[in-house]
Chains A and B, each alone.
Chain A
């Protein structure tokens, strides 16, 4: 099907969402709670765009691009005055929540905000509650972290260490997906620490690069059905080996 984004005609398949289509066509829409690895969620409200349709008799609507299903003939504008106002408002609020986040500072600056017009949160951290970490952890099948509480009091954590840290495999997926770097972790020679828990490190048999924690590799082996021995080398060593085999066969 065919739709128009910022006056450009683009092609889309049924079942896609506006944000994917825009990104594929190099049209930029800011988004903080979206990541291709997980289902869209619609929490940050930054990806707002204005839509209309020739059949809608002039009616327009503000929708989140990450969740709006494409539709033939849809006309999308990603930078109208209304869109700008809502995004600026959202960023102003986020800046009050996380004044220390350079990501938010930079985004806010793009919308003309140097300093928040609201009251900054007392004792702020870097978490914007975008929910990406929880969703990725669920996606990899660990579900070790969750939201605790609700509303303004909500936070993300490994609930009650003794209870649920058992589920954390130390894979760092959450820390890597976090847009603001709010999830702290550290790694030394033999030890990785995340969510206040220490993990041993497994290194590649060949090059000695870190490939993960024993719990993580165990988990991945179980989930993928591959043998545990598959996870003894790092990806690049494994690729190099495969390539070498390939060369031998063809010659």
Chain B
């Protein structure tokens, strides 16, 4: 399968073709393609005149990047300190159990990706879970079930929240 090149071309025109643009370009590629496909990394390397090996080093060093495609629903469970002491671990364990995957994995149908993040900056509402771009605070096991149910019927963020309150 070849990937559409237009988004990449557009990203590349946004930044000056030099090494210091690398991380920003990869951020945009990650957003546009939901991962960093190897074939595109080769093109990024060529365009920015950075050795391919260096591109790979950067792509694997930073957590924002993933070489594997991410699921349609990206669940990020906060594992920051505030969330940890308020029971974040339990939330993570329950997601793992319900989705049948480990941290960092994607379900085989490509629907869910489960990830741990170190603090999303809403510690006052610990424990916190971010589903795609929606934040859920004061998480409980019950709320978690409702969130999963809402994502199955792919409701909008606000509707899902109404339901979980």
Min CB distance, B49 to chain A, in Å?
A: 11
Q: Are A148 and B51 in contact (CB under 8 A)?
A: no
Q: Are B60 and A163 in contact (CB under 8 A)?
A: no
Q: Is the interface of B mostly helix, strand, loop or mixed?
A: helix
Known A-B contacts A159-B52, A164-B52, A167-B52; the reply to A146 vs B57 at CB < 8 A is: yes
Q: Are A163 and B38 in contact (CB under 8 A)?
A: yes
Q: Are A149 and B60 in contact (CB under 8 A)?
A: yes
Return the contact of A143 from the options B38, B42, B51, B61 (Cβ within 8 A).
Answer: B51
B111 within 8 Å of A by Cβ?
Answer: no
Q: A146-176 interface mask toward B, CB cutoff 8 Å, 1 = contact, 0 = none?
A: 1111100000001110111011000000000
Q: Are B61 and A149 in contact (CB under 8 A)?
A: yes
B101 within 8 Å of A by Cβ?
Answer: no
**Cα–Cα distance between A148 and B55 once the two chains are bound (Å):** 10
Q: B19-62 interface mask toward A, CB cutoff 8 Å, 1 = contact, 0 = none?
A: 00000000000000000001001100000000111101100110
Min CB distance, B47 to chain A, in Å?
A: 15
**Cα–Cα distance between A147 and B53 once the two chains are bound (Å):** 8
Q: Are B60 and A148 in contact (CB under 8 A)?
A: yes
> Given the complex, which residues of B lie within 8 Å of A160, measured CB to CB?
38, 56
**Cα–Cα distance between A161 and B158 once the two chains are bound (Å):** 46
**Cα–Cα distance between A150 and B56 once the two chains are bound (Å):** 12
> Given the complex, which residues of A lie within 8 Å of B61, measured CB to CB?
147, 149-150
A129 within 8 Å of B by Cβ?
Answer: no
State which residues 130-152 of A face B: CB under 8 Å.
Answer: 138, 143-150
Min CB distance, A215 to chain B, in Å?
A: 15
Return the contact of A146 from the options B38, B42, B54 (Cβ within 8 A).
Answer: B54
> Given the complex, which residues of B lie within 8 Å of A158, measured CB to CB?
53
**Cα–Cα distance between A159 and B41 once the two chains are bound (Å):** 12
Return the contact of A148 from the options B38, B41, B42, B57 (Cβ within 8 A).
Answer: B57
Min CB distance, A152 to chain B, in Å?
A: 13
State which residues 57-98 of B face A: CB under 8 Å.
Answer: 57, 60-61
Binding site for A on B (CB under 8 A): 38, 41-42, 51-54, 56-57, 60-61
Binding site for B on A (CB under 8 A): 138, 143-150, 158-160, 162-164, 166-167
Closest 10 CB pairs of A and B: A143-B51, A146-B53, A159-B56, A146-B57, A164-B52, A148-B60, A150-B61, A149-B60, A164-B53, A143-B53
